[in-house]
A and B are shown apart, each in its own frame.
Chain A
Amino acid sequence: MLHAIDLDVPESRLTAVVGPSGSGKSTLLLCTAGLERATTGSIEILGTDILSLSPRRQAAFRSEKVGFIFQEYNLVSSLSVEDNISLPARLAGHRVPKPRVDDAMTRLGIAKHARRRPDRLSGGERQRVAVARVVANQPRIVFADEPTGALDLKSGHVVLDWLQALPAQGTTVLMVTHDPHAAARADQVVVMGSGRIHAVIPGGDSRAVSDAVLAAQSVDEAGDEAA
């Protein structure tokens, strides 16, 4: 449950959302992306009120302007790596130029797996495919829900490097994470607790992020005890 959320995500910036488990981080992300329906309020992405869009227009909006990276299950199991990368564009009714797909795969180090299906890839490789999909389709905004949660340190760093690099191409990134070090790489960090925004702090300092999360958790626990 989210309460009284008023959040402005700056364009072409990486914004991280952190908070204790159950604080509403992922719900906020999914509502913002239009994947969960908010019961009240309004959500504007790139100047479009997504709640007012019909399901058809919302789908078109997603395929053309939005990219997603989840913790797991990012890929269609029956499609090859290159098919997965070009999926959003094909759903929007056009094709991503093949050189752009090849370039994205090469940059992410997965070109040799182009024809493989996800079940032949490791977790890190699957996540790189999800990032390559974002790189190739060049969406205006990317929603990432715990994108490094299931990865080893090295693969996690590769994914974060790319998420950090995307704003330079004009892409806005909103990332939910539990990891203070990952959150510290963002331009701004939104700290949540009990479905509310506790604080918005600048990125760069993982210790400050940890302290803010612990403070939010303490406030939540104090609220629970009082109730």
Chain B
Amino acid sequence: MSSASIALGGNIVFFTLFAAVGIVASAVGLTLKTQRREHALWVILGIPRNRVRRILRTELMVLGTIAGALAVPLAPLVAGIALDQWTATGLDLHGATVGFELWHVGVAVLFGVVPCLLGGWGVTRRAAKTPEMRAFRDLSDPPARPGAARSVLALCLLAGVVGMWIPGLGLELEGGVEQRTAFAFAGDLFLICLALLMGPWVLTPLMKLWTALVPSRSITWHLAVQSCRARAARSVTTVLPFALSLSFVGLFMVMGNVMPGSTAGLGDVMVVLGWVFVVSWVGGLAVIALVGRERTRDSAVVTVAGARPGVVTRSTIYEGAIYAGTAILFGAISIAVTSVTIAAGARISVARVLNGLPWETLGALAAVTLLTTCLALALQAARTSRTVAARVLRS
């Protein structure tokens, strides 16, 4: 039982950290990108380029340190809730209690600084390299290609997918079906991580594909689609957190449905993924709020051009639906792939896996995702509708 607790604890820490690092890094990257005009101004005013880069990286370290330090007093609270949750699920915690030691501060600061630097490193390099007038005039950079670090990590994850799928799907193992299924599960996990790591080249085409299939000619939909595509070309952070949480939930539900003695209930899955959800949702909504300034200006142009009342609001809400729709579609594809692979590993039919899934729960999660993103954007639209378009365009 204690090994189960350790495994569960390890899983929770791994998934929560994975989600937090991914979301914080992409949010930091996006924030720096939105400030590129100010950074260009620094260069124009005579600050040397390498000093701009140093200042920005120092900023990131300070930000990460403050975030880590702020996390220290919150950590015992979160740990307490997690331990209560585990106890409620019947796990033997061997008298584990919440404690504090000095090195916890160092670890917290480290986990604050690392994602900030990861997300901001490339952007600060570009901020110092891009011709200042190009950035100052808000001219966009050419589409980014995967950098060296991302490519290496992607190759490692791909190796993980192949390495896990070969024994899981193709070999007869001593551990039998359970071991094969576990390998297939691990391969799927690597695959989802790989797809999320390559988000700009996976989520953006997915968004373009499904929105192109919607047979609407309305201007509100057209504005929303173009807005989502333009923003996704720069950052997929608005979709990534929701795609991450939904695909993980799907994977765990498929696994819980197949493994003997496991369950696919939301409560059980949430024991592992509850904090991932919290991190993803908060991160996703924060990022949606981050791109508000540009959206406000675009809305003002559309209003001045003669948009009837409600057009801008509807189009903004549709944007939320597109972000959520892309995440839901990614989650659905993840469930389809994991169902096929885990069914192959467990030597059962795909239909049996699909029949056993809690579709009502999955549907409810999809609906909550849709509602949350639409609501976040509806609030933004309400704020925008109170501004005077002409003043926005002259500010």
Contacts and interface: CB of A to CB of B under 8 A. Distances in A.
Interface of A: 26, 30, 33, 35-36, 55-56, 59-64, 66, 68, 70-80, 83, 87-88, 90-92, 117, 119-123, 145
B141 to A, nearest CB: 9
Interface string B118-145: 0000000000000000000111100000
A88 B229 contact: no
A76 B225 CA distance: 13
B394 A70 contact: yes
Given A68-B304, A87-B302, A123-B137, A117 B230 contact: yes
B81 interface: no
B222 interface: yes
Contact of A83 (B226, B304, B394): B226
A90 B140 contact: no
Contacts of B138: 119
A63 B311 CA distance: 13
Given A62-B306, A91-B308, A73 B219 contact: no
A75 B301 contact: yes
Nearest to A73: B393
B367 interface: no
B288 to A, nearest CB: 15
Given A73-B393, A79-B226, A91 B305 contact: yes
Residue in A33, A61, A63, A79 whose Cβ sees the most chain B Cβ within 10 Å: A79
B389 A90 contact: no
B301 to A, nearest CB: 5
B226 A78 contact: yes
B306 A88 contact: yes
Given A120-B140, A122-B137, A30 B390 contact: yes
A78 B229 contact: yes
B365 to A, nearest CB: 29
Interface in B214-229: 219, 222-223, 226-227, 229
Contacts of A117: 140, 230
Contact of B305 (A61, A78, A88, A123): A88
B302 A26 contact: no
A35 B140 contact: no
Given A36-B390, A77-B294, A56 B301 contact: no
Contacts of B229: 78
A195 B230 CA distance: 41
B137 A66 contact: no
Given A70-B393, A79-B226, A119-B140, A35 B306 contact: no
A68 to B, nearest CB: 5
Contacts of B230: 77-78, 117
Contact of A59 (B222, B294, B301, B308): B308
Centre residue among B223, B300, B306 by max chain A CB count within 10 A: B306
Nearest to A35: B390
15 contacts: A55-B308, A59-B307, A63-B306, A66-B306, A70-B394, A77-B297, A78-B227, A78-B298, A83-B222, A91-B219, A91-B305, A117-B230, A119-B140, A122-B139, A123-B137
A56 B303 CA distance: 11
Nearest to A130: B301
Nearest to A64: B306
Contacts of A79: 223, 226
Interface SS of B by simple majority? helix
Contacts of A121: 139
A26 B137 contact: no
A123 B294 CA distance: 17
Nearest to B141: A119
Given A35-B388, A62-B304, A91-B302, A55 B309 contact: yes
Contacts of B140: 117, 119-120
Contact of A62 (B223, B298, B305, B393): B305
A60 B306 contact: yes
Contacts of B219: 90-91
4 nearest A-B pairs in the assembled complex, by CB-CB distance:
A63-B306, A78-B230, A35-B390, A62-B306
Contact of B389 (A35, A61, A87): A35
Contact of B231 (A33, A75, A78, A83): A78
A76 B223 contact: yes
A161 B223 CA distance: 31
Interface in B126-179: 137-140
Nearest to B389: A35
A154 B305 CA distance: 27
A176 to B, nearest CB: 11
Given A79-B226, A117-B140, A120-B140, A74 B301 contact: yes
Nearest to B229: A78
Nearest to B138: A119
A83 to B, nearest CB: 7
A61 B138 CA distance: 32
A200 to B, nearest CB: 24
A30 B140 CA distance: 30
Contacts of A64: 306
Given A119-B139, A120-B139, 7 more contacts: A36-B390, A70-B393, A76-B302, A77-B294, A88-B305, A119-B140, A123-B137
B105 to A, nearest CB: 43
Contacts of A73: 297, 300-301, 393
A35 B304 contact: yes
A207 to B, nearest CB: 29
Interface string B354-395: 000000000000000000000000000000000011100110
A63 B305 contact: yes
B278 to A, nearest CB: 31
